[in-house]
Amino acid sequence: MQPAHNACVFIVDDDASVRDAMAWLLRSRRLMSEAFASADDFERMLQEKFPGTQAPVPTQAGCILLDVRMPGQSGLALFETLIGNGLAHTWPVIFLTGHADVPTAVDSVKRGAFDFCEKPFSDNALVDRVEHALMLSEERLAVRLQSAGLVSRLEELTERERDVMQLVVSGLPNKLIADQLDISVRTVEVHRSRVFEKMDVKSAVELANLLREL
C-alpha cells in the first residue's frame, strides 16, 4: 500500500550530495520530498507553513529524515523542538547517523524518534522505513482529524444537552435523568434526540464509545 499522493518527506541535512541523492531515491519510488540545508531552514519553513502557532497541525502526511550532526543547530536540538510542538508525533523522525552517533540515535528512538539509519545505508531499506513512517503519519492524522471533528460536534451542544448527554452515557433512564435535572421526561427525550442527531449516533452505547475514543 502506497502513502497518500500528497505525503512529503522532509530531508534535513547539511550535505548537498546527500540531499540530492535522497531526493532522487525518493522520486524513484514516487515519493515527494523537500530538502533543507540546516535545522534553521527547516524551522523557517514551519513558521511560514504554520504562522502564529506553537503547535502546528499538519493536514498532509509526512516524515522527517534528519541528520544528527550539522553545523549550527544540531539534528538532536531540532528533534527536541519537534517533540515539544508535537510534530515528531505527526511527522515521524528518522535519524541519519554515522557510526559514532548510533548510541545517541538509539536513545532518540527511545524518546520518540521513529527509527535511525546508519550511513552508508541501504537505499531500499531506508525507503521502506520511510514508507512505513508515512503510513503511520497518515494513521495519526486520521485520528487527529477525527478527534477534531468530535470536538467540533461537542461544541455545537447546548449546556443542557451536555448535561443530558453525560447522564445518558452513564446509563440512566429518561425518568431518572428528568428527576436529577428537574425537568420533564418529554424534555429529556427532546434533548436526547438532539444530542444523538448532533453527535451522529443512534444509541447511548454508540455515543459512549465515541466519547471514549475522544
Range in 43-52, 65-74, 101-110, 197-206 the model is least confident about: 101-110
Q: Are residues 129 and 177 in the same domain?
A: no
**Of 120, 146, 172, which residue constitutes the final position of a domain?**
146
Q: Is the pTM of this model over 0.75?
A: no
| Domain that residue 126 falls in | 8-146
Give mean pLDDT, residues 170-196.
92
Using the predicted structure, report yes or no on whether residue 152 has a pLDDT greater than 90.
no
* CATH code, 40: 3.40.50.2300
Using the predicted structure, report yes or no on whether residue 9 has a pLDDT greater than 90.
yes
- The total domain count for the chain is 2
Q: Are residues 198 and 125 in the same domain?
A: no
Residue 162 counted as domain residue: yes
Q: φ, ψ for residue 26 (rounded to 5)?
A: -70, -40
**How far, in Å, CA of 98 to CA of 74, rounded?**
14
Contact 195, 168 (CB under 8 A): yes
End-to-end, the C-alpha distance of the chain in Å comes to 28
Closest by CA to 133, choosing from 91, 87, 103, is 91
pLDDT confidence of residue 214: 61
Give mean pLDDT, residues 186-209.
90
* CATH code, 160: 1.10.10.10
Q: At what angle do helices 174-181 and 159-169 cross, to 10 degrees?
A: 130
**More reliable by pLDDT, 208 or 91:** 91
Q: Are residues 204 and 128 in the same domain?
A: no
To which residue does cell 452505547 refer?
205
Using the predicted structure, report yes or no on whether residue 127 has a pLDDT greater than 70.
yes
Q: Are residues 78 and 141 in the same domain?
A: yes
**How far, in Å, CA of 63 to CA of 136, rounded?**
9
Residue 70 counted as domain residue: yes
Q: Are residues 185 and 128 in the same domain?
A: no
Give mean pLDDT, residues 5-33.
93
**Coil vs helix vs strand at 66:** strand
Residue 151 counted as domain residue: no
